[in-house]
A and B are shown apart, each in its own frame.
Chain A
Amino acid sequence: MTVGGGAAGAPQALDPKKIRIYGLVGSVIGIYLAWILNSVTGTNIFSFVGALAALFGVVLGANAVRRVCAYGIGTGVPSIGMLALGMGVVASLFGLNLAEQLGVGVLGVIIALVYSVVFGYVIGLIANRVMGFNIPIMEEGLFDLSGAGTMAILGWSFAISGSLAYADIVKDVFNTGFLAIIFICGGLAILHPFNANLGPDEKQDRTLVNGVMVGGMATIATGICALMTLGFAAGMLEIVVGFAVWYYFYVWYFRLAKRDASAVVGTGLLPPSAL
Chain B
Amino acid sequence: MDAFGMGLVAAMGALATVAGASEDIESDIGSQSNPNSQVQLAAQVGNPHRIYNKAIAGEPPSNALWCTTAAIMAYVLIEGYHMPLLFAVAVGASLAALFNGVMATSAYLGRNASQARFNQWIYLDIIRYTTPSIMAHVWITSFCITLISTIQVYVLTPHHPFPIPVIALIWGLTVGAIGSSVGDIHYGGEREFQWRLFGQGLNTMLSGQIVRKAEAGLRNSIDNAWFCAKFGGPCTGMGFGLTVFLDNWRTTVFDPVTHAGAAIAMGLFFVIVMNLYNFYCELSARRKYGPYPGYKGDIAA
Q: Tell me, yes or no, whether A binds B.
A: yes
Determine whether the beta carbon of B79 is less than 8 Å from that of A228. yes
With A4-B40, A250-B102 known as contacts, the answer to whether A201 contacts B58 (CB < 8 A) is no
Bound: A253/B108 CA distance, A: 12
Determine whether the beta carbon of A225 is less than 8 Å from that of B102. no
Partner of B121, one of A225, A253, A261: A261
Residues of A within 8 A of B48 (CB): 270-271, 273-274
Partner of B56, one of A183, A192, A202: A192
With A78-B57, A184-B64 known as contacts, the answer to whether A273 contacts B119 (CB < 8 A) is yes
Residues of B within 8 A of A258 (CB): 113, 122
Q: Taking chain B's interface residues, is the majority helix, strand, or loop, or is none over half, making it mixed?
A: helix
Determine whether the beta carbon of A264 is less than 8 Å from that of B122. yes
A8 to chain B, nearest CB (A): 16
Bound: A271/B49 CA distance, A: 9
Stretch in contact with the other chain, from B157-165, B190-198, B231-239, B255-263: B157-165
With A3-B40, A263-B121, A265-B123 known as contacts, the answer to whether A274 contacts B47 (CB < 8 A) is yes
With A180-B169, A217-B99 known as contacts, the answer to whether A262 contacts B110 (CB < 8 A) is no
Residues of A within 8 A of B113 (CB): 197, 199, 201, 206, 256-258, 260-261
A111 contacts partner chain B, Cβ-Cβ < 8 Å: no
Bound: A224/B62 CA distance, A: 19
Interface string of B108-152 (1 = CB under 8 A from A): 011111111111111111000000000000000000000000000
Bound: A261/B108 CA distance, A: 11
Partner of A228, one of B62, B80, B109: B80
Bound: A26/B49 CA distance, A: 42
What number of residue pairs across chains A and B have CB atoms under 8 A from each other? 197
With A3-B37, A188-B65, A270-B218 known as contacts, the answer to whether A196 contacts B56 (CB < 8 A) is yes
Residues of A within 8 A of B166 (CB): 177, 179-180
B72 contacts partner chain A, Cβ-Cβ < 8 Å: yes
B189 contacts partner chain A, Cβ-Cβ < 8 Å: no
| Top-5 shortest CB links A-B | A199-B114, A177-B163, A228-B80, A177-B165, A197-B110
Residues of chain A having any CB pair with chain B under 8 Å: 1, 3-4, 74-75, 77-78, 81-82, 175-181, 183-185, 187-188, 191-192, 195-203, 206-207, 210, 213-214, 217, 221, 224-225, 227-228, 246, 250, 253-254, 256-258, 260-271, 273-274
Can you list 10 A-B contacts with CB-CB less than 8 angstroms, sorted by A residue number? A177-B75, A185-B68, A201-B115, A221-B69, A224-B95, A228-B79, A253-B110, A264-B124, A266-B123, A270-B48
